[in-house]
Amino acid sequence: MLRYLTAGESHGQALVVIVEGLPAGLAVTEADIQAELGRRRLGFGRGPRQRFEVDEILLLGGIRHGRTLGSPVAIEIKNTEWFRSDKWHKEMSPAPGKTEDPLTQPRPGHADLAGMQKYGFDDARDVLERASARETAARVAAGALAKLLLRTIGVEVISHVIQMGDARASLTVRPTAGDLTKVDESPVRCFDAASEAAMVKAVEDAAREGDSLGGIVEVIAYGVPVGLGSHVHWDRKIDANLAQAIMSIQAVKGVEIGDGFEVAGRRGSQAHDPIEWDESTQSYRRLSALAGGTEGGMTTGEPVIVRAAMKPLATLNRPTLQTVDTVTKESTVSFKERTDVTAVPAMGVVAETMVALVLAAEAQRKFGGDSVDEFTRNCASFLGTL
């Protein structure tokens, strides 16, 4: 099974990810991974750090002459911040010592206070450095490999922003795999051009007031073969695994598969995707996409559609959130840090990553194979039996 571990703190020296279980023979270049990391830095509303963070990577193992070896792939992503100032060398030094500037006004909505209590820390930085969404850079590097593997069986995973604050896009037309460049060119990664201006304005308004914004992203995976995941056991259901993966993204508080929340209010006769036999392709197809391409915990062969709702960031440029100083126990407002107004466009790229990692793991579980050739052959052979 494909598995991966990330390590590293936001202002530490680097992030590291190890991806184990990839087949041998997958063509990978540094540029493939860089491209995905660059996409994660996209989006109007990010803070100053994104302008200097370059996500410089080092391929440490598992790849030789542009091909995976079947051994664990290890990737290091340097944190530009560490190399820019002495402050972080001191603050994040692994050597014994103590900070002169502990953060003791935990932000409501962040991991700060619960983490301080759970781990016995008196400095919120001991928690927030790892809770930070900087960690998603390491996941995106892993996701780049998952996307390359999925591409060998014709799967493409894309995303677009469908809501920014209260500005919502029309969902009448969905981007296809070929539209990803157009989505990425939008300052808010929105495919619906008519809604883009309202989204940009929502970000500008929040920025002016020192506030932050959440939103909703939709991920669509095209070309997913029928039969990934299973109905036979709770922890093998693909929709459950997608939900867990998406919910693990920092600040995501809601997950929807297809139109899951909308169909809850409909009658059964109006809530399911009718099935039809398509003579031209000699295959079944669904006439709508309410179920988001999954039924009974398995992919149906239709596009997989997952939505992720992100809460507004808990760090504000003009702090107004009530909290308590953990030393004096006096009421105060949470500490001020340099921050993004919104990270919803970037979260879309991270959500693609998480969907790709789940689908790649399940595809490997179904089709197996120690080499990419064996993996693709097994997939084609299965599809040929349908």
339 scored as a contact of ligand EPS (CB under 6 A): yes
Q: Which two tokens stand for residue 369?
A: 């194979």
- Cβ neighbors of 201 (< 8 A, separation 6 or more) are 167
9 scored as a contact of ligand EPS (CB under 6 A): no
**DSSP secondary structure, 234-263, as one string:** GGG-HHHHHHHHHHTSTTEEEEEETTHHHH
Binding window for ligand EPS (CB under 6 A); candidates: 48-56, 64-72, 140-148, 241-249: 48-56
233 scored as a contact of ligand EPS (CB under 6 A): no
Options 137, 140, 149, 359; binder of ligand EPS; rule CB under 6 A: 137
If binding means CB under 6 A, how many residues of this protein chain bind ligand EPS? Answer: 15
Q: At its nearest, how many Å lie between ligand EPS and the CB of residue 48? A: 7
Please identify, using beta-carbon distances, which residue of 37 and 150 lies nearer to ligand EPS.
37
Residue type, 31: A
- Cβ neighbors of 22 (< 8 A, separation 6 or more) are 2, 62, 68, 70, 73, 145, 149
Q: Please list every residue from 52 through 91 that binds ligand EPS, using CB under 6 A.
A: 53
Residue 332 has φ and ψ, to the nearest 5°, of -155, -170
Output the CA torsion 282→284→289→295 (10° steps): -140
Q: At its nearest, how many Å lie between ligand EPS and the CB of residue 340? A: 5
Q: Which two tokens stand for residue 305?
A: 């559609």
Output the CA torsion 118→119→120→125 (10° steps): -110
Binding window for ligand EPS (CB under 6 A); candidates: 49-57, 298-306, 323-331, 374-382: 49-57
Options 65, 267, 329, 338; binder of ligand EPS; rule CB under 6 A: 338
* x/- letters, 308..337, toward ligand EPS (CB under 6 A): -------x---------------------x
Residue with tokens 């002495």: 86
Options 133, 216, 224, 344; binder of ligand EPS; rule CB under 6 A: 133
34 scored as a contact of ligand EPS (CB under 6 A): no
At 356, is the secondary structure helix, strand, or coil? Answer: helix
Q: In the complex, which residues of this chain contact ligand EPS (CB under 6 A)?
A: 10, 47, 49-50, 53, 132-134, 137, 250, 315, 337-340
